[in-house]
Amino acid sequence: MSGAGTRRPAAASVPLMALRAAVVVVAGAAFALAPPPYAIAALVMALAGAIWPTSLLTWGALLVVALAQLGHLPTAGDWHPYLALVVVHLLHALGSLTLALPARGVLQLRALARPARRWLLVQVPAQVLLVVGLLAQRMPREGLVPAGLVAVAAAVCAVAIAVLLRALAPRR
Q: Are residues 114 and 101 in the same domain?
A: no
| Domain encompassing residue 57 | 14-107
Q: Are residues 79 and 163 in the same domain?
A: no
Concatenate the DSSP letters of all residues of 42-103 into one string: HHHHHHHHHH-GGG-HHHHHHHHHHHHGGGS---TT-SHHHHHHHHHHHHHHHHHHHHHS-S
Question: Is residue 54 in a domain?
Answer: yes
3-state secondary structure of 169: coil
Q: Are residues 159 and 95 in the same domain?
A: no
pTM attached to this predicted model: 0.79
Question: Is residue 8 in a domain?
Answer: no
Domain count, the chain: 2
pLDDT of residue 145: 60
Question: Is residue 133 in a domain?
Answer: yes
3-state secondary structure of 108: strand
pLDDT of residue 9: 60
pLDDT in tens, the chain (172 residues): 455 656 666 778 889 999 999 999 999 988 888 888 999 999 999 999 999 999 999 999 999 999 998 888 888 888 899 999 999 999 999 999 999 999 899 989 998 988 998 899 889 888 988 888 888 777 766 655 666 777 777 788 788 777 877 777 666 6
Question: Is residue 1 in a domain?
Answer: no
